Structure 1
């Protein structure tokens, strides 16, 4: 179960708090405790994932140094990198990539770190992932790609980064909607203008011709 923004206030308590023996994740890492064990509070999250979500880079460093499994997944197939990307933890993302985290890991629902970061408008995370060579045109089960997700939410800088890195401007989802159509539907004027300037096809969308 992924941690949602509504539970974000509890993260610091989970990462900085202690277990029944008085161990915090940082102490556990330094003392060789099994730090890849899943938590039973709020879902199947582990110490590395919780520290990554909260952006505690030093704890992440200690956990990795002491053997935390970098690609361990929670019950939804999310890894520490997936979660750090979702929450915009750029330093943690960069460190996990450096240490060999799977950059294109796919969750049980089809989300990659790039898709999560693009959807949430985390520009610097997107930049770090692209520089690391992630797959740009990976799509969700419904066919949505990073460009659709970013354009639909008006994340213009992310849209530009994706296009500069080879994102397909006219890639359509399972409904036949291109990034331009998604941006138009959600009222993202700047994204629409930008995509048109870059040459997006106006008459591509929903499997039918859209009036010019």
Structure 2
């Protein structure tokens, strides 16, 4: 898995699972990303409120898909919704290194020590540590970091990894489909497997 530069882009992005699923199904039907881009321009396939938002959704979702080996598409198409959501989350983590580190260093660690909840204070500590490690994160304002933490919580909830608790969120440890687990290991994505399942 390639590590990309830290980014706060998640503040303006969503999980976009239904949109991810739509693009994957069009790819499975033989369309190319270029063709899907054109279809979206003409038909607004995501039902976005503006052209700009429609383009942003396509660019984000297609970027996430491109971060994965194409062989995931067939497995995705034959999986249940729970597994499909995990694939969409893994694609998001593959593109967003800061979000990946949050899941790996906070959520995974919580599962390892047997604590099945995390709080806003855990998010704040994570960002403080990252500000010491990265000039890019150090430059982010407190307001941006708060929004980023909110975005991470929403995406993890929508992926089925947490509940929607007010002060604390319960971590719902997923049981990975064996086919997905094997795919992750075969494609050098063992770190994602560990992040999601709380393995050392």
TM-score, normalised via structure 1 length: 0.26
Bigger RCO (CA 8 Å, 6+ sep): 2
Scaled by the length of structure 2, the TM-score of the pair is: 0.28
Larger Rg: 1
